[in-house]
């Protein structure tokens, strides 16, 4: 595909603007909660023992009360604390760009827009929730946060946020990534976090696993179990999660709110809004504010969640109650799932290797508000390379899934001879994922 679309220099200047930026004064003041506007409420999380809806008290072992209340709220707009907004302004509002060179390469009548979240200090959308999570923990008197990370995007974001609020941060990083992908580990350590390869010798669970298999590569499920054990053993420690939960989706909605304003500046209305999905948070962030208008103003906006075929919870999984982790320690959540014991193939989009899906995203799909599609990674990297060669930014392998779907929408518009306005979320850059480009460029990529 890349070879097929050689970009030729066009000898006329661009007639319409391509970069849409908002002043600091237009940073959103509230997060938007889709739970307030669903025509029917999503089923509640259940206590695995009693099978009754989890209570606020049940969750206090892991999270501070202010965040548990936020997790359960059906309030439509939640005010963003001033301290959080001040830190957001380090990289927000983020730019919206029109991908005119990609449009030309595709020779499509479609207009392609992308919201760029890669300009945050950690290089992805994840600090949008890491910062408020650290803030609320700090406000509740918590001294230390424990978490897990796979490839390191979440661990790095939380390490930064903890540093900014004076909290200690302990990250259990999946062992194979710890050794094979040292750069995000070094980011975490630079920001002052303590990082252990998981399974680690810091927990009973980890020590037991190490005794059985001293060179275990680890898994996200194991790392979650270690972070939870750490949290339950220490009075001043709480746990933090980078995706899936309602409050995480909530925090990400600054993305879509800004995008709505910026599309107005561009004088266009997206026909389709696209995001990649691992646990569902960056997709929720860009899409939920558009879904609000779809529900309240009866707009026809399509909303599309894109996942890898190798870990396709929305298109291949079942909608049922399941655990969020492999060790079965979390509440049961009603979500699209491949099963809590599903071990996804080692695709390069590490952030999309999660067996489940955010309950809010699952519910939106169930109600027909959102669609889902899945792509194999060879197709995804073709689109990623085309994007890098036309727009310049090297995308992370995860948002490359959204780019692939956007390219296909643009090509369909071309076939149909119709204009179509497409918006996608470019939720992170790929500068620390160049090893996956090495595999692509060397023809060593398989579909897993």
Please tell me whether residue 287 binds ligand PLP under the rule CB under 6 A.
no
- For the bound state, the minimum distance from the C-beta of residue 189 to ligand PLP, rounded and expressed in Å, comes to 18
User: Among 278, 289, 308, 324, which residue sits at the site for ligand PLP (rule: CB under 6 A)?
Assistant: 278
Contact segment (CB under 6 A) with ligand PLP among 4-12, 85-93, 274-282, 336-344 equals 274-282
Give dist(CA 264, CA 243) in Å, integer: 29
Q: How far is the CB of 275 from ligand PLP (least distance, A)?
A: 7
Q: Does 276 sit near ligand PLP (CB under 6 A)?
A: yes
The two structure tokens encoding residue 335 = 């979500």
**Do the Cβ atoms of 275 and 402 come closer than 8 Å?**
yes
Nearer to ligand PLP, 22 or 245 (CB): 245
Under the criterion CB under 6 A, does residue 246 sit at the interface with ligand PLP?
no
Stretch that binds ligand PLP, among 139-147, 167-175, 281-289, 338-346 (CB under 6 A): 281-289
- Residue 280 near ligand PLP by CB under 6 A: yes
The reply on whether position 351 binds ligand PLP by CB under 6 A is yes
The interface with ligand PLP within residues 85-124 (CB under 6 A) comprises 124
Nearest CA to 118 out of 421, 438, 436, 400 is that of: 400
Distances (CA, A) of 290 to 56, 88, 136, 263, 369: 30, 21, 27, 11, 10
For ligand PLP, the binding residue among 108, 198, 225, 243 (CB under 6 A) is 243
Alpha carbons 173 and 222: distance in angstroms, whole number: 10
Alpha-carbon gap, residue 114 to 406, rounded angstroms: 10
Nearer to ligand PLP, 158 or 396 (CB): 396
Question: Please, which residue, 111 or 353, has the CB nearer to ligand PLP?
Answer: 353
* Residue number with CB closer to ligand PLP (243 or 390): 243
**CB-wise, 198 or 282, nearer to ligand PLP?**
282
Residue 148 engages ligand PLP in binding (rule: CB under 6 A): no
Smallest separation, CB 48 to ligand PLP (Å): 23
Q: Which one, 184 or 294, has the nearer CB to ligand PLP?
A: 184
Q: Is 149 in the site for ligand PLP (CB under 6 A)?
A: no
Structure tokens, 13: 């200047």
Q: Which two tokens stand for residue 256?
A: 């879509």
Closest approach of ligand PLP to the CB of residue 171, in Å: 14
Nearer to ligand PLP, 252 or 301 (CB): 252
Q: Applying CB under 6 A, does 344 fall inside the site for ligand PLP?
A: no
Does position 153 bind ligand PLP by CB under 6 A? yes
Q: Please pick, from the candidates 396, 421, 422, 423, the single residue that binds ligand PLP as defined by CB under 6 A.
A: 396
Q: Does 277 bind ligand PLP (CB under 6 A)?
A: yes
Residue 179 CB, nearest approach to ligand PLP (Å): 20
- Rounded to a whole number of angstroms, the minimum distance from the CB of residue 72 to ligand PLP is 20
Cα separation, 358 vs 278, whole angstroms: 9
129 belongs to the binding site for ligand PLP (CB under 6 A): no
279 touches ligand PLP (CB under 6 A): yes
Task: Pick the closer one to ligand PLP by CB: 124 or 203.
Answer: 124
- Of 70, 203, 262, 281, which one interacts with ligand PLP (CB under 6 A)? 281
Decide: is 324 part of the binding site for ligand PLP (CB under 6 A).
no
Q: Which residue from 126, 336, 363, 379 is in contact with ligand PLP, where contact means CB under 6 A?
A: 126
Backbone φ, ψ for residue 322 (5° rounding): -150, 165
Query: What is the size of the binding site for ligand PLP (CB under 6 A)?
Result: 20
Reduced 3-state DSSP string for the chain: CCCCCCCCCCCCCCCCCCEECCCHHHCCCEEECHHHCCCCCCCCCECCCCCCECCHHHHCCCCCHHHHHHHHCCCCEEECCHHHHHHHCCCCCCCEEECHHHHHHHCCCCEEEEEECCCCCCCECCHHHHHHHHHHHHHCCCCEEEEEECCCHHHHHHHHHHHHCCCEEEEEEEHHHHHHCHHHHHHHHHCCCEEEEECCCCCHHHHHHHHHCCCCCCCHHHHHHHHHHHHHHCCCEEECCCCCCHHHHHHCCHHHHHHHHHHHHHCCCCCEEEEECCCCHHHHHHHHHHHHHHHHHCCCCEEEEEEEHHHCCCCCCEEEEEECCCCCCCCEEEEEECCCCCCCCCCCCHHHCCCCCCHHHHHHHHCCCCEEEEECHHHHHHHHHHHHHHHCCCECCCHHHHHHHHHHHHHHHHHHCCCCEEEEEECEECCCCHHHHHHHHCCCCCCC
Q: How far is the CB of 251 from ligand PLP (least distance, A)?
A: 11
Stretch touching ligand PLP by CB under 6 A, among 66-74, 210-218, 278-286, 293-301: 278-286
Where do contacts with ligand PLP occur on this chain (CB under 6 A)? Answer: 124, 126, 153-154, 243, 276-283, 351-352, 396, 398-399, 427-428
């Amino acid at each position: 595909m890349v070879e097929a679309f050689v970009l030729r220099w066009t000898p006329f200047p661009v007639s319409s603007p391509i970069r849409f930026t908002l002043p600091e004064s237009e940073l959103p003041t509230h997060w938007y909660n889709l739970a307030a506007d669903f025509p029917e409420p999503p089923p509640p999380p259940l206590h695995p023992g009693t099978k009754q809806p989890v209570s606020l008290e049940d969750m206090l072992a892991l999270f501070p009360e202010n965040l548990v209340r936020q997790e359960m709220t059906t309030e439509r707009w939640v005010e963003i604390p001033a301290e959080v907004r001040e830190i957001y302004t380090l990289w927000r509002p983020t730019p919206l760009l029109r991908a005119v060179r990609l449009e030309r390469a595709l020779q499509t009548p479609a207009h392609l827009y992308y919201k760029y979240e890669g300009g945050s200090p950690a290089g992805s959308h994840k600090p949008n929730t890491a910062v408020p999570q650290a803030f609320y923990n700090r406000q509740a008197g918590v001294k230390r946060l424990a978490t897990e990370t796979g490839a390191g995007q979440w661990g790095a974001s939380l390490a930064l946020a903890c540093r900014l609020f004076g909290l200690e941060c302990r990250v259990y990083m999946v062992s194979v990534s710890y050794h094979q992908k040292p750069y995000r580990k070094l980011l975490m350590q630079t920001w002052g976090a303590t990082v252990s390869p998981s399974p680690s010798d810091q927990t009973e669970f980890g020590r037991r696993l190490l005794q059985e298999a001293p060179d275990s590569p680890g898994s996200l499920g194991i790392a979650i179990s270690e972070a939870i054990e750490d949290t339950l053993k220490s009075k001043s420690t709480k746990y933090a999660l980078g995706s899936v939960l309602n409050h995480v989706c909530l925090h990400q909605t600054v993305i879509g709110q800004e995008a709505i304003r910026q599309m107005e500046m561009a004088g266009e209305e997206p026909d389709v809004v696209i995001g990649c999905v691992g646990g569902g948070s960056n997709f929720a962030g860009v899409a939920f504010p558009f879904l609000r208008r779809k529900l309240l103003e009866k707009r026809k906006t399509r909303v599309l969640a894109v996942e890898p075929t190798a870990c396709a919870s929305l298109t291949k999984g079942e909608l049922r109650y399941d655990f969020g982790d492999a060790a079965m320690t979390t509440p049961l959540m009603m979500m699209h799932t491949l099963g809590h014991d599903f071990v996804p193939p080692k695709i390069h989009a590490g952030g999309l290797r999660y067996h489940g899906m955010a309950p809010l995203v699952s519910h939106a799909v169930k109600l027909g508000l959102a669609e889902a599609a899945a792509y194999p990674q060879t197709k995804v990297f073709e689109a990623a390379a085309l994007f890098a060669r036309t727009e310049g930014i090297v995308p992370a392998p995860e948002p490359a899934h959204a780019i692939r779907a956007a390219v296909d929408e643009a090509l369909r518009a071309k076939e149909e001879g119709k204009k179509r306005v497409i918006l996608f979320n470019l939720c992170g850059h790929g500068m620390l994922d160049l090893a996956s480009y090495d595999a692509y460029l060397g023809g060593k990529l398989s579909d897993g």
